[in-house]
Amino acid sequence: MDNRREMDQELILKALKARENAYVPYSKFAVGAAVRTKSGEIFDGCNIENISYSATVCAERTAIFSAVSKGNRQFTRIAVAGGDEGKEPGDFCVPCGVCLQVMSEFCGPDFEILLVKSEKEVKRYTLKDLLPVVFDSLKR
């Protein structure tokens, strides 16, 4: 296995593992995410729900905000795994529009998004595949 594959495998396993901490009493849908910084570090996160539903945070944002809060602003890829709590993911979980918007704040169009059904079943996209046009009117 080459180094790139090994590094992706590590990210995939971290996303699957992060799912275990998902706090999902309302949806029972557990998501884990792991993002790799340009310097090679991994930050992971899970979804955290709230009885006031709109206060819920997705796994992708938990992972990215954790990284940013430690001083990281450049990322190469994220792995995402989601499915019914207590089971292996039954399908590929696609990041929501809000999380794609957050990715677009810090990541370029070629940022890679790995959708993980299992260790061996992974679909690869780029940010520009999933969010081809983006709000950037405040950029000067």
Is residue 67 involved in binding ligand THU (CB under 6 A)?
no
Q: Which two tokens stand for residue 83?
A: 């499915």
User: Site for ligand THU (CB under 6 A): which residue of 20, 86, 90, 96?
Assistant: 96
Is residue 65 involved in binding ligand THU (CB under 6 A)?
no
Is residue 102 involved in binding ligand THU (CB under 6 A)?
no
- Biggest CA–CA distance in the chain, Å, is 47
User: Site for ligand THU (CB under 6 A): which residue of 15, 42, 59, 116?
Assistant: 59
DSSP classification of residue 23: B
Active site residue 10: no
Is residue 66 involved in binding ligand THU (CB under 6 A)?
no
10: Cβ–Cβ under 8 A, 6 or more apart, which residues?
Answer: 42
Catalytic residue (one of 60, 85, 112, 121): 60
Q: Which of 78, 123, 122, 81 is nearest to 103 (CA)?
A: 78
Q: Which residues are catalytic?
A: 60
